[in-house]
Chain A
């Protein structure tokens, strides 16, 4: 009589595999973070807690330069891609389908579909031509390249936000003789902010994390944090890399959680 109720949702072994999956996802990252605090030089033998690798990363000139470069690029790429994504979202949302719509969507989403290595090689070829023609070797190439692949990431949350927005407020403003620009500034933009912020943060994280395109586009001495790390992996690895990784992880995780919260803000 005391037989347990038959659970129709149970599938033998699924819970076990799911838990193994979560462990597999998080164990390596947790170990990576833990060993960034290792007092010894090993990434596998624990010798006590210390901040020494954070200090050594902090004092490493190459790391400092790469960090600043990464942040500059991510800032500009995020600002640029989000601004143009807002305009593009305004043009493509809440309208009937228009001539050339498929082509526009294909171009906007291209960075999501084309393998990164293909884009990287294409940019290497194209920018090499420009570098030869103009002699300019600065950071602008990386900023433009990052802006381009950040556009779809900024565009998607902004578009989602716009689609969920109430049209009647804008109509009311227009009825009260507001100019289109006033409607945008006073009515649309304030409602759109969470979407814009979410898009900008996503773009920032995507830019900050990029390895492949940066590796192919950068000129000599233009390492970002990820390409610096990629170069270091060939040598003997010390927990310094763990310390840099942990710092980067901290930024990403904070931004992703903030992004999730922001995209839940109700209209």
Chain B
């Protein structure tokens, strides 16, 4: 019985959708932070928070899908340390996709600005307004994000290396190119 070398279609769709949202939210977060107070800044903060909560929901969906579906096996020739590294990086990426929006949500609450998803759905404030906590969570949010940036570089670099240098059909795993089966 052959096994698919591709993630399931919902997993692929969630991967690229979340990747796209993170690629928008991350630079937006860096940019908006430096702006002087203006209506534009307030809008950008809201958009950033809406995207973040969307990532949180999609990531929750994705993690539950991942836990109930077997991912395609890694190529047979991969070294054990690479398998361990791959598994560790993927675990951390899933963790950060949840932890980063949660840290942003908590930071918003601590800074006294409730998160209202798309300006319509108010999320509960899980912590009270507290300046010290807000500053602490801002640091946590930033640190987690730069950790994510490092891991994403590692993740993309490893995928490209396996695909182009080691000539393994790696990008097909996430839907690029035609379906291949062993």
A binds B: no
Interface set of A (CB-CB < 8 Å, partner B): none
